[in-house]
Structure 1
């Protein structure tokens, strides 16, 4: 065996955990103004006052969730009178699911998944807050997913007007929105009480990306494992996608590719091979959040190319047995979620025939559906 080969118990990773997507980095640079804005908005909670609501927005992979988590963790060290609840709306995408997660955070017990009305569970949450004299800060991460089924306004309205039902309750909401080309607007009833501090997270610039990637390399790998040209290629890919998570996942996959070759260094070829999977990370995560019927519809569109609504519905109905109303609702949701385009073709009765086509490359969609 040559000296360049890795033994069974050898690895090029110093700390592979640094490259996990849910890892909370100690080094969090280039977001100082956003962090200060979050801290300023939540500071009243330290004095027993209701914090300022926030609207945190920006493209995917720009540090929104990490910033909120880091501020939450910092505040937890200085107060025991505030309950911080971060809800992943991709997973908890209904009003009941959101309140169940808050209830679990408050009492450390999961509520029953059935047989309990939303109102009754929500009243338990509010009563617990009053009895414990604690302030609740809720971060609705990827609130986009609550809009799809019409739950966003319901959740926001319930939380923001809780003090009217239970005087003395103090609740603040941080709505985290990923800008993916769709504009999300709250109902006027919600907007009149939300009145948030808007905190924008722009895409990272090339120099910022380079700095962050180099820091992850330093902590994730042993010295000299990642040559400069490999680092630069990864920076180029992240700059193209605008999503820092692509670069972090690319480092992990490239490292595994190098180990598979039993090499002590990562090559450009390792990166190129890994990129095909890493570039789809956001698309695949988004597709995994869809329901079974939504994935079925997306698969039909990817396989069928540009389809008229009638033809698509026929195939969809044969596979699922669902009626046209539900089919139409799914089309509208996936259109607003940027999965597909549903444009009027100008043909048919009054020119209202719609042509449905995927916004992503069909082969990429099918790969994520596997």
Structure 2
């Protein structure tokens, strides 16, 4: 019996980092095609030429950021002549803040804290690239934040027309987007569109079998042998597929392992997995709500404030129009996007003028949604 009890210095984990959400695995399974496209886009930089711009588009938790960071890691290991800079636009959403991060990557220290003008900051970056014969590639993650803050045009224009100010400067951009409806042609100015022209790289949601493959890879290197049964792996995969977000499954495995350790057990039980899901299921909600536009958050808030489990789309539209002043076309597109992000479910009632009235319901506890919208 004592052999089933973990001592204070024992663990079910072999390498717990495999279950961290920011961990970059050696092999990025089921994203080979996307990785090839990214490498094709950046390959001119390895020859000292300007890289192709790219747009990585897909729902939250589909491997966009991991794929870009993996390619950036390989670039840094291959040469010092290419400078890949990753920017989280949730944290840095102004042109100055983004170029300050680029400056820090190039020079190894931030620009003076007293502040220098953007013109001077920009000039120092451009001169460095030309003098050192280096090529700059900037990944703008959560690019929709730049669109929302009206900074996208200025950021891209400054980056991609750098050679006009400093002849010989070479730079490219990779936009990472969770918003599948954002229309670059509509929302960027013609001047920026003419220089951006990105390669579109789509990241579809993982299938159930792909999710299983990826979770098993993490389990193989992250857990001790025999810690979790095949049956429970299948359950974790199914829960993950329901949210469409791989991060949910990875976080579930970590929590389930910790739950087993709390019981001083060498194996994960069904109860450990169920308890893990109660916390991990909100990983998708956290990331997805952060990626929404304010009008989409307003739409969710209309459902939360109604106090109902589900609403007829007509009633919801009336509330939404009153709150935002937007028309039915915008409302219809947003409802479909929220369904695609697995935040709401839609069911046709067969009633209504065209027999297509829909019931809209939240896929999460309204209180949990409300808390995250108001942050």
**TM-score, normalization: structure 1?**
0.80
Quick check: 1:233 aligned with 2:219?
A: no
Structure 2: runs of 5 or more not aligned: 307-315, 325-330, 345-360
Give the equivalent residue in structure 1 for 2:43: 43
Once the two structures are TM-superposed, the CA of residue 301 in structure 1 deviates from its matched residue by 6.8
Structure 1: runs of 5 or more not aligned: 314-331, 342-356
Residues 45-93 of structure 1, C-alpha deviation per residue, up to 9 Å, x if partnerless?
1211111111111111111111111112222232221111011112111
Distance in structure 1 (CA, Å) of the matches to 2:34 and 2:150 = 29
**TM-score, normalization: structure 2?**
0.79
Q: 1:91 to 1:133 in 2, by over 3 A?
A: same
More divergent stretch after superposition (258-267 vs 231-240): 258-267
Once the two structures are TM-superposed, the CA of residue 11 in structure 1 deviates from its matched residue by 0.7
Residues 218-269 of structure 1, C-alpha deviation per residue, up to 9 Å, x if partnerless?
1110011011111000110111111111111111111111111222111222
Once the two structures are TM-superposed, the CA of residue 3 in structure 1 deviates from its matched residue by 3.1
Give the equivalent residue in structure 2 for 1:345: none
1:302/1:363 contact within 8 Å kept: no
Give the equivalent residue in structure 1 for 2:204: 202
Structure 2 counterpart of 1:248, from 247, 250, 253: 250
Q: 1:220 to 1:285 in 2, by over 3 A?
A: same
Q: 1:311 to 1:8 in 2, by over 3 A?
A: farther
Once the two structures are TM-superposed, the CA of residue 130 in structure 1 deviates from its matched residue by 1.7
More divergent stretch after superposition (122-131 vs 154-163): 122-131
Q: 1:309 to 1:178 in 2, by over 3 A?
A: closer
SS class of match (1:279): helix
SS class of match (2:3): coil
In the alignment of these two chains, the number of paired residues is: 334
Structure 1 counterpart of 2:282, from 274, 280, 283: 280
Once the two structures are TM-superposed, the CA of residue 24 in structure 1 deviates from its matched residue by 0.6
Q: 1:300 to 1:244 in 2, by over 3 A?
A: closer
SS class of match (1:213): helix
More divergent stretch after superposition (279-288 vs 240-249): 279-288
Once the two structures are TM-superposed, the CA of residue 183 in structure 1 deviates from its matched residue by 4.5
Once the two structures are TM-superposed, the CA of residue 181 in structure 1 deviates from its matched residue by 5.1
Give the equivalent residue in structure 1 for 2:98: 98
Quick check: 1:124 aligned with 2:124?
A: yes
Distance in structure 1 (CA, Å) of the matches to 2:192 and 2:60 = 25
SS class of match (2:78): coil
Distance in structure 2 (CA, Å) of the matches to 1:8 and 1:311 = 59
Distance in structure 2 (CA, Å) of the matches to 1:359 and 1:181 = 21
Structure 2 counterpart of 1:363, from 363, 367, 371: 367
Q: 1:277 to 1:174 in 2, by over 3 A?
A: same
Distance in structure 2 (CA, Å) of the matches to 1:289 and 1:204 = 19
2:144/2:291 contact within 8 Å kept: no
1:144/1:177 contact within 8 Å kept: yes
Distance in structure 2 (CA, Å) of the matches to 1:199 and 1:300 = 32
Distance in structure 1 (CA, Å) of the matches to 2:54 and 2:301 = 39
Give the equivalent residue in structure 2 for 1:167: 167
Aligned residues: CA RMSD: 3.3
Give the equivalent residue in structure 2 for 1:22: 22
Quick check: 1:266 aligned with 2:259?
A: no
Q: 1:49 to 1:244 in 2, by over 3 A?
A: same
Give the equivalent residue in structure 1 for 2:189: 187
SS class of match (1:60): coil
Once the two structures are TM-superposed, the CA of residue 297 in structure 1 deviates from its matched residue by 9.0
1:103/1:125 contact within 8 Å kept: yes
Once the two structures are TM-superposed, the CA of residue 282 in structure 1 deviates from its matched residue by 3.4
Q: 1:31 to 1:308 in 2, by over 3 A?
A: closer
Give the equivalent residue in structure 2 for 1:64: 64
Distance in structure 2 (CA, Å) of the matches to 1:56 and 1:227 = 35
Give the equivalent residue in structure 2 for 1:3: 3
Give the equivalent residue in structure 1 for 2:354: none
Once the two structures are TM-superposed, the CA of residue 298 in structure 1 deviates from its matched residue by 11
SS class of match (2:22): coil
2:57/2:180 contact within 8 Å kept: no
Once the two structures are TM-superposed, the CA of residue 366 in structure 1 deviates from its matched residue by 4.6
